[in-house]
Amino acid sequence: MSHASSLGSRSVPPPENDPSAAWPDFSATTRPGAWEPDILGEGFSYTTLPLGADAEGELCATLVRHRLPAPEPAHVRPTAASRLGAALDRWWPRPVSESRPRATDAPGTSGFVLAVHGWSDYFYNAELARYWTDRGYAFYALDLRRYGRSLRPHHLNPGFTASLDEYDADLDAALQMIRSLEGADTTGICVAHSTGGLVASLWVNRHPGAFQALILNSPWLEMQGSYLVRYAAQGVVEPIARRRPRAKLHLPELDNYWRSMSRQAQGSWDLHPLWRPAVAFPVTAGWITAVLAGHREVSRGLDIKVPVLVLTSKTSHLGTNFDESMLHHDSVLEVQVVRDRSLRLGSEVANTLIDGAMHDVFSSLPGPRAAAYAAIDRWGNGYLPGHGVRAAARERPAG
């Protein structure tokens, strides 16, 4: 199988005005400390976090940030020089130490948010970023090694890891960069989806002071069915993983979830065809063994010290063939299993069921998305100092 076919293909014709047709297959590696314009457009940029190398070659993670435009005095009119300076900043960003301050660096900002994606995925949700920056948070998102903006042509096994602990280096590098920009003592919130929710839960459990709160979007905390399915799967794949961790497992190739998401099908999102392919990355024995080990650790019980909010769809609808109801249910995980297992994360866990949501509640149809954001506002009013005040101010009419 060629590398291109292992990541997906561009064979599906893009819809009209689809920006993904112009996106590069792979992100360019940035200079140390420099930020480059991101494919998400105005206000978004990214920087590469080097992580050494392995047998396949160079490894990196990628940090994406969203910045509000810097306010200018009402009486100041842009000059030719200022326009030229803005254009130069967009195409040749200055290193971090020379960057202009963000609008959210003003007094009254309350911390930062770091978003972590799921399996066969990357950060694409500009609306999620704006939700947080509208409330005064500095927003960042992390594309883990071998995912999204961190994929490189020499990565023959996208998404591969033999241990979820490997992502400690990715998260450490991201937080080091964020704190260098936002301040060493700035409080943070982690927002993590699906497999990223599993990774983040285990990491936060081991690093109790890293974040102020944890928000999990349909976290993959247990195998579908029950722990009995996990035991059976372990017996099959662990012997293979010990000998050939990169061996690909022959599993059904389904595009149901992609069809519910992509604007090229029944969804409403512009998705990168290689970073979020129609059929997910090939599952390797080493990767699924690492996930099963994470599930086993959660099942024994974690001791997360910060408040946790778990958002899931109200119901699941699993199947091998796509149908329209998958736009209104979780078509990937059994949500009741997720909610049951979430109670073992810590002593302060809240579950919110979003009627009509998909697996990624923040990528659902507009109604469920609004309900998910409203749920964070309610929860944040109690657990995130000042969050409710900022949310109310945003909704209050001017004048």
Q: What is the pTM of this model?
A: 0.85
β-pairing, 308-313 vs 213-217, is: parallel
pLDDT score of 226 more than 80 = no
Confidence of residue 68 (pLDDT cuts 50, 70, 90): confident
Read off the pLDDT band of 223 (50, 70, 90).
confident
Residue 11's pLDDT is: 46
pLDDT of residue 227 exceeding 80, the answer is no
Instruction: Tell me the pLDDT band of 234, cut-offs 50, 70 and 90.
Output: low
pLDDT at position 231 over 60: no
- The continuous run of DSSP H or E covering 99 comes out as none
* Cα Rg, the chain, nearest whole Å: 21
Per-residue pLDDT at 93 exceeds 50 = no
Q: What is the pLDDT of residue 97?
A: 32
pLDDT tens readout for residues 163-174: 999 999 999 999
Average pLDDT over the chain reads 85
DSSP 8-class letter at 154: T
pLDDT at 72 over 80: no
Q: What is the pLDDT of residue 109?
A: 55
How many domains would you assign to the chain? 1
Cβ–Cβ under 8 Å, residues 342 and 312: no
User: 360 in helix, strand or coil?
Assistant: coil
Task: Tell me the β-bridge partners of 50.
Answer: 60
Report pLDDT for 320. 85
| CATH number reported for the structural domain that contains residue 186 in this entry | 3.40.50.1820
pLDDT confidence of residue 10: 43
pLDDT digits (tens, 9 = 90+) for 281-307: 999 999 999 999 999 999 999 999 999
Domain limits at 310?
Answer: 3-395
How is residue 273 written in tokens? 């065809």
Share of the chain above pLDDT 90, in %: 69
Tell me: the pLDDT tens digits for 1-45?
333 334 444 445 556 678 888 999 999 999 999 999 999 999 999
Distances (CA, A) of 257 to 40, 45, 364: 22, 27, 11
Average pLDDT estimate for 213-225? 92
**Strand order of the sheet with strand 188-193?**
36-37, 44-54, 57-66, 138-143, 112-116, 188-193, 213-217, 308-313, 349-354
